[in-house]
């Protein structure tokens, strides 16, 4: 009788191990399925820029003159270079928005470079300088007193206001939102 009880206990233990193994197998299958799903779809930023190379789709990009081109991703050096600098977009509309954003930001920079009196705002510090922002549906001027952290600065408030006026004359409200990354 001792052998019979021991055999029953061993059988119960083996059945439990088998159940645990099946549960682990199912868990691993689900993990593998999730990993495969991630590989199937490229990760794309909110602006439409591809963030991974795991795609074989047509993409759009912006040339240096802000015109739009398109190509098929074939893992060439030029494809990978565009990917590295975030210049691969899912569709033409997103590429056009990026071209407009670049054009508008270049316009602001050009105004500051032409109008400031020999000032290189990237090196200037401890003086009042003005920069353009977009806040709650309006283009605004803000004042800053330190070295630039990426903004384009104007020597005085009048130059900043002049640039805002020219932006509003050149671009409509929707375009201005795109330029400042609000849309």
If we measure between CA atoms, which residue out of 132, 178, 172, 134 comes closest to residue 152?
132
Q: Is the dihedral of CA 45, 51, 55, 60 positive or negative?
A: positive
- Residue 107: left if φ>0, alpha if ψ -120 to 50, beta else—which one? alpha
Res 52: pLDDT: 60
pLDDT in tens, the chain (183 residues): 578 888 888 888 888 888 888 888 888 888 888 777 665 555 565 555 666 655 557 889 999 999 999 998 888 899 888 888 889 888 889 899 999 999 999 999 999 988 988 666 666 667 778 888 888 888 888 877 666 566 788 888 899 999 999 999 999 999 998 888 876
Count of CB atoms within 10 A of residue 134's CB?
Answer: 14
């Amino acid at each position: 009788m001792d052998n019979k009880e021991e055999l029953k206990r061993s059988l119960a233990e083996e059945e439990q191990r088998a159940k645990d193994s099946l549960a682990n197998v199912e868990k691993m299958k689900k993990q593998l399925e999730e990993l495969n799903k991630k590989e199937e779809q490229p990760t794309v930023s909110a602006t439409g820029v591809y963030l991974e190379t795991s795609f074989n789709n047509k993409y759009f990009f912006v040339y240096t003159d802000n015109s739009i081109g398109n190509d098929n991703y074939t893992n060439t050096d030029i494809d990978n270079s565009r990917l590295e600098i975030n210049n691969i977009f899912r569709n033409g509309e997103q590429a056009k928005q990026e071209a407009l954003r670049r054009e508008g930001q270049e316009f602001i920079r050009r105004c500051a470079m032409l109008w400031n009196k020999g000032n290189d705002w990237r090196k200037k510090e401890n003086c009042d300088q003005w920069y353009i922002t977009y806040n709650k549906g309006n283009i605004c001027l803000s004042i800053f007193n330190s070295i630039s952290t990426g903004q384009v600065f104007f020597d005085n408030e009048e130059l900043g206001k002049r640039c805002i006026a020219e932006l509003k004359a050149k671009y409509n409200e929707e375009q201005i939102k795109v330029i400042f990354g609000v849309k």
